[in-house]
Structures are given as structure tokens and as C-alpha cells.
Amino acid sequence: MPKTALVEKLRRPIKLLPHFSIVEKKRLITFPVGFEILIWLLYVAMYKYSYYLDHARLPMVRDGYFPYLQVGLFSICSTLYLIPYYRWLVPRLLFAKRYWILFGVTLLVFLVLNSLNAKIIAWIFEWFTRGLAVHQFFTSPGNMYAPDLNLVLTDLLAFFCIAFARFSYQNEKLRHQMETDNLQLQLGMLKAQLQPHFLFNTLNGLYGMSLTESKETPRFILLLSQMMQYILYDCDKETVSLQDEETFLKGYFELEQKKFPKSKITFNVPELIPEIAIPPLLFLPLVENSFKHGKHKIEDTAGLEAVLTVTPREIRFIITNDIYDQAPLIAKPANGGIGLINIKKRLELYYPNKYQLSLQQKGNQYIADLTIKL
């Protein structure tokens, strides 16, 4: 592939798919918010309004489904004082584990502030409803100046449930953020571990080419430079385009084929690859492992074949290489098997319960088969 075409392909903007993102998108409506809205609509705006009308002894109104809407507005306004309590105070004290302080504050809010708040709101409504039939509701001492224990207990139950739901959600969100930060740290370490491993193996191959004084050595050094540019810059992202990954692997196979020109080294890919985002360098450990332990390094008749297939539902990568009769590939690899450990960890991080990785020996061949569900 010409230099300009390869560079242009490596630098092409990447379209990321949302389901590959580790970080969860911020939702506008969460469970605590939805639960809070239901409490205000069903309990405050409807139940408390109905409860006040049943105990208000106001003149009967035959026309209209919602008479005396001023009472409904009063039920809402007289409950607004609880917003700082359940949205800020309770979660904060629960996080700090100040349970006795929370108990004392709760008694203060519902036994003292409740009555004081009702008097203030009733006085305001009394001033605005003069001359109306509903005015007597706000001037009745039995309604406004003695706390209704039924409503106090119901308020406590309803809004403490909202507060606890908010506390649980915030606690879970904090735990999820810590897990996400930990995953990002692990991914960064895995990438940093993989890059020098790839460079070490490839430079060894270029050193062998330089000993033969090959005229194509400069071109392959340029190819390696472009591949390292892809690793150092493009692979710093969380995901990359599958097309860019395929171009990178083609360059890798071309380098290996040049090292062993008489061996049959093939990489079969579809003509058209859809825009799919994957973790960078995901298949490289399997490729490196096959080239490292393949029989093609000592026998020209031996070969190595890789096949990449892509469907709307899955990605499948199979790489097969001939192995030595007396030293199978499943023997303990040198340097602790960095590559295979790497890919297993990354698959667990990116595709939990959505991948299958099979590493097995069949006769004189070793087959690595990776399937990823989309």
C-alpha cells in the first residue's frame, strides 16, 4: 500500500459506537428523580389535597372535579420546606454515618418546623383568599395550628423513602465511578505493557532483514514507523475503528512475510468492513503468539493463516499456525506469556459474557479462535 494512502487511512476519523463505551452516559431522569416526581404528584398534590378537603368542612361544591384548588396549592406550598431535608440533609448525614444527629434533626423538622411552616403558609393564604369561601379553611385553628399526626407520619415515610433512594443511588454511582476509574487505569497499564512488547518483537525481525542487506529494508522501516504511529497516537483512545485495526494487522503480516518469504503467511479479510469500534490492538497478542511459536520459522513448508469475518452480530478472528512436533505451543511461553494474559484481561473488561476465546492444539496445528458478540 502507498505511504500516503496508509497514512490517510490511519488518520481517518473514527466513528465510535455507544455500546463499547465503558463510562455510562449521564441520564436526565433517574430512579430517585422519577420516584420523587411520583410522590409529589400522587401524595402531595392529590392525597394531601383530598385529605384536607375531607377535614375542612367547606361548603359542598357540586360542579367541578377539583373544587377549592387553593387547598391543593396550599398542600404543595406547605410541603416545600422538606426539599432541603430529603435532597441534601438526609443523604449527607447518611454518608457521614451521623445517625443520632439525623434522628434529632428528623424530630425537629417534623414536630417543630412542620407546625411553624403550616402557620406561616396558612397566614399567607389567609391574606390572599379574603372574601372567598375557602378563606375559613386557613383561619380554622383546628386545621392549621395543631399538627396532624397522620400527615406528619405520612410525610416522614414518603420523604424519608425519597431521601434513602437518593442516598442509595448516589452511593451506587460513586461505586460505579470508582470501578470505572479502576478499569481505565488497568486498560492504560495493559496498553503500556503491550506497546514495548510489540516493538521488541518487530525490531528483532527488522534486525534479521538488515543482516541480509535487503533492498526493501528502508521501506519496511517506514512501514514500522507508520505502525508505531498508530500504536502511540491512535491506540491511545478507548476504542478504534475495526478498519484501522485491519490495516495495522496487514502491515504486521507483511513484515512477517518478508522475514520468511518462502512460508505461506496469509491474512484473509472481508472486502468491506463496517464501521465498528473495538479496543485497540485487541487481536495483536494472538498474532504475536502464533508468529512466535510457529513452525514456519524453521520449515519453509509450514504456514500461518488468519481469517477475520464480520457480521452485524459478531466479529470472529481465527489464526492457525503449524507447530513443532516435540514442543507444542501450549507449553509455558517465555516472559510469562504477556500477550495471552493481556488479551484475556481486556476481553473481560470490554466484553464480559460476550466473547468466546478458544486456544487449542489439533494435530500439528495450533488454533486460536476468538468470537465477540456485538
Q: Mean pLDDT, to the nearest integer, of 210-237?
A: 79
pLDDT at 106: 93
> What separation in angstroms does the CA of 89 have from each of 30, 154, 171?
20, 19, 15
Handedness of CA 87, 93, 99, 100 (dihedral sign): negative
Set of cell numbers at residue 169: 443511588
Q: Mean pLDDT, to the nearest integer, of 214-229?
A: 80
Task: Write the DSSP symbol of residue 37.
Answer: H
pLDDT digits (tens, 9 = 90+) for 245-263: 999 999 889 888 877 888 8
* CATH pick for 260-374 out of 3.40.30.10, 3.30.565.10, 3.40.50.12780, 3.90.650.10: 3.30.565.10
Cα angle value 272/273/276 (rounded, 5°): 160
Q: Mean pLDDT, to the nearest integer, of 46-63?
A: 80
| Position 369 confidence tier, pLDDT thresholds 50, 70, 90 | very high
Q: In three state form, how does the secondary structure of 241-299 look?
A: EHHHHHHHHHHHHHHHHHHCCCCEEEEECCCCCCCCEECCCCCHHHHHHHHHHCHHHCC
Of the given ranges (50-64, 67-81, 89-103, 181-195), which has the lowest mean pLDDT?
181-195
Q: Are 368 and 290 in contact (CB under 8 A)?
A: yes
Q: Which amino acid is at 10?
A: L
pLDDT at 89: 92
pLDDT at 22: 39
Residues 6+ apart with CB under 8 A from 86: 159, 160, 162, 163, 166
- Greatest Cα pair distance, the chain, in angstroms, is 107
Q: Mean pLDDT, to the nearest integer, of 328-337?
A: 44
Q: Mean pLDDT, to the nearest integer, of 176-190?
A: 69
Query: What are residue 284's phi and psi, to 5 degrees?
Result: -60, -40
What value does the mean pLDDT of the chain take?
80
Q: Mean pLDDT, to the nearest integer, of 148-169?
A: 90
Q: Mean pLDDT, to the nearest integer, of 259-284?
A: 88
Residue ranges of the domains in the chain? 31-175, 260-374
